[in-house]
Amino acid sequence: MAKNKSTTPRKDLQDFQKRKSFLLDKNRSVAVAKRHKKGLRTARENIEDLCDQDTFVEFGSMIVAAQRGRKSEKDLIEQTPADGLITGIASINGKWFNKDECKCIVLSYDYTVLAGTQGAFNHKKTDRMMQIAKKAKKPIIFFVEGGGGRPGDVDFDIISTGGLDLMTFVEYARLSGKVPRVAIASGYCFAGNASIAGCSDVIIATQNISLGMGGPAMIEGGGLGKFHPKEIGPAKMQYENGVIDILVKDEIEAVATAKKYISYFQGAIKNWTCKDQLELRNLVPENRKFAYDIFKVINHMADDDSVLEIRGDFAKNMVTTFIRIEGKPMGLIGNSTRHLGGAIDADAADKAARFMQLCDAFNIPILSLCDAPGFMVGPDCEKTAMVRHSSRMFIIGASLNIPILTIVLRKAYGLGAMAMAGGSLHESFFTVAWPTGEFGAMGLEGAVKLGFKKEIDAQTDPAKKQALYDKLVKNAYDRGKATVAASFLEFDEVIDPKDSRQWIVNALESIPLHKNNHSRIIDSW
């Protein structure tokens, strides 16, 4: 009879388990308490919340800081676990998607270890994960909090002066358009950590963020003044200027938002609901001069709880969101009449063009809700390089491999309307209009003033002049209203607003979407 095997682990296994124990939050009570005192979570707590239970497989946990020339091995193991960077592969959103669809690459700088700085070995670790992401073609979620480069890694001083030959940034940048990349930024995020954020497709940031290309020490060292970290790249500023794509309250909301964002790239969701589509008939005012809330249209048309806005405080005249229609992910661009009347200025054009790039890289069709009086014009506008910026929408639109589906809610005037449809109303897979739609080579009022200037100026009586002008505008509207314009086949159809989803679904079912269509990089701006 065989003897019972000992339940006591072998010494080599005991040594391994002891070594691994220094990685765990429960054995790092001082560092964890300091973090919690500030109302923040640890890197491992964020990863645990992000990943499906018991799916995170860690890579490179044994490394320590490259400081053997100044510290003992014991100190390095205790004080610099994983060299301040936790990396691995995990499942995210497994409740909605198949196992192969929900796998993601997860990385997190650990602020409890040398302020989340980028050490020599954690750079090597990042490079390794970029290799894996490239081979596996899986999304990347990167928690980027940290202070940038680490000058204290003395072990590499004999082989490198400035560490400028490292490959981390170029390898991460090379993944643009190849795999979805999400940066989650909280607390202080400076220099190299900020560069990782800036190279990402989207930045999800918390209200406490300080995000900048140099921290206080670098700024002061350059003779540029002395600043508190909170003065550098605060949330409000970076959200308004378009650096931050999604601004959230805290790390809990950041993780939840990251899970929602990445889901659009993981596939369709089987179970969905939507609102009564009859209500769409009443969301655009009968009075063509009245502004309205385009988000009421978007939230009503899309599946319930499926809308996620990108760059919400930047270029508010252009709306960019992800949505779902019958569970299928889509990107959406739209004109907000509450800002500049929906006219497209330089910032709005940049915002739309980059969003189209993002959708195209990952085979997500675009729904365009057009209410465009045109591109913004005027001397002040041209100071913003409008000619170049506006043209981005045509350049990107002309090279798209995914379909654009265009619904004209009201105004479709001139070059701006054409840009909203990918370059032409016949460039879209379909262009339809609600009965409130109106079409023209330029805004009706401007067209009348330009085309009938002689006749209007001939009227000396102010009342008669206004009456003539109003009549000419009405005539122009009557010629350009949707039901008339459709008779010339300038676009495909006038539809009942309640049928919008039916048109969208029919198109999605008609167009084959080819996977791995990585035709371009995604601009950082």
CATH code of 100's domain: 3.90.226.10
Domain co-membership, 39 together with 105: yes
pLDDT digits (tens, 9 = 90+) for 26-50: 999 999 999 999 999 999 999 999 9
| 111 pLDDT higher than 80 | yes
Do 188 and 306 have their domain in common?
A: no
Cβ contact 113:83 at 8 Å:
yes
Q: How many Å is the maximal CA-CA distance in the chain? A: 119
Domain end point (choices 263, 297, 323): 263
234 and 281 both lie in a single domain:
no
pLDDT higher for 455 or 236? 236
Q: How far is CA 117 from the centre of its chain?
A: 25
Residue 5 lies inside a defined structural domain of this protein:
no
Amino acid at 440: G
Boundary (domain end) residue, out of 230, 263, 296: 263
Looking at residue 8, its pLDDT comes to: 82
Q: Supply the range of the domain harboring residue 473.
A: 443-480
pLDDT at 483 over 80: yes
Is residue 414 in a domain?
A: yes
CB 89 within 8 A of CB 139: no
pLDDT at 386: 94
Do 485 and 504 belong together in one domain? yes
Residue 49 in 3-state DSSP? helix
| Three-state SS sequence of 430-464 | EEEECCCCEEECCCHHHHHHHHCHHHHHHCCCHHH
- Please count the structural domains in the chain: 3
Examine the domain organization and report whether 399 and 495 are in the same domain.
yes
Q: With a cut of 70, say whether residue 158 has pLDDT above it.
A: no
- Could you tell me if 346 and 452 lie in one domain? no
Q: Are residues 135 and 163 in the same domain?
A: yes
Question: Do 288 and 232 share a structural domain?
Answer: no
Say what the pLDDT of residue 196 is: 97
Is residue 272 in a domain?
A: no
Average predicted confidence (pLDDT) for the chain: 92
pLDDT at 164: 78
Measured over the CA atoms of residue 255, residue 260, residue 265 and residue 269, the dihedral's sign is positive
User: pLDDT-based confidence at 472, cuts 50/70/90?
Assistant: confident
Nearest residue to 19 (alpha-carbon basis) of 66, 59, 77: 77
Q: Is the pLDDT of residue 75 over 70?
A: yes
Percent pLDDT > 70 in the chain is: 96
174 and 323 in a single domain? The answer is no
Q: What are the residues whose beta carbons fall under 8 Å from the beta carbon of 149, sequence distance 6 or more? A: 117, 118, 163, 191, 192
Using the predicted structure, report yes or no on whether residue 3 has a pLDDT greater than 70: no
Q: Which residue has the higher pLDDT, 371 or 3?
A: 371
243 occurs within a structural domain: yes
Instruction: Give the type of residue at 523.
Output: D
Residue range 391-433, pLDDT digits in tens: 999 999 999 999 999 999 999 999 999 999 999 999 999 999 9
> Could you tell me if 248 and 390 lie in one domain?
no
Domain membership of residue 124 (yes or no) is yes
- Classify residue 270: in a domain, yes or no: no
- In this structure, are 191 and 221 located in the same domain? yes
Identify whether 522 is part of a domain: no
In a domain, 3, yes or no: no
Of 129, 104, 141, nearest to 254 by C-alpha is 141
Distance of alpha carbon 234 from alpha carbon 241, whole angstroms? 11
Q: What is the mean pLDDT of residues 128-144?
A: 96
Supply the pLDDT for residue 159.
Answer: 59
| pLDDT score at 220 | 83
Decide if pLDDT at 5 tops 70. Answer: no
Query: In this structure, are strands 318-325 and 328-335 parallel, antiparallel, or unpaired?
Result: antiparallel
Q: Is residue 383 located within the same domain as residue 473?
A: no
pLDDT tens-place string over residues 231-290? 999 999 999 999 999 999 999 999 999 999 999 999 999 999 999 999 999 999 999 889
Q: How far apart are CA 175 and CA 196, in angstroms?
A: 12
Whole-number Å distance between alpha carbons of 338 and 139: 35
Reading the block at residue 402, the tokens are 């995914």
- Structure-token pair, residue 149: 């480069």
The phi and psi torsions of 16 (rounded to 5 degrees) equal -65, -45
pLDDT at residue 451 is higher than 90: no
Q: Which segment, 7-21, 172-186, 434-448, is predicted with the most confidence on average?
A: 172-186
d(CA 85, CA 129): 11
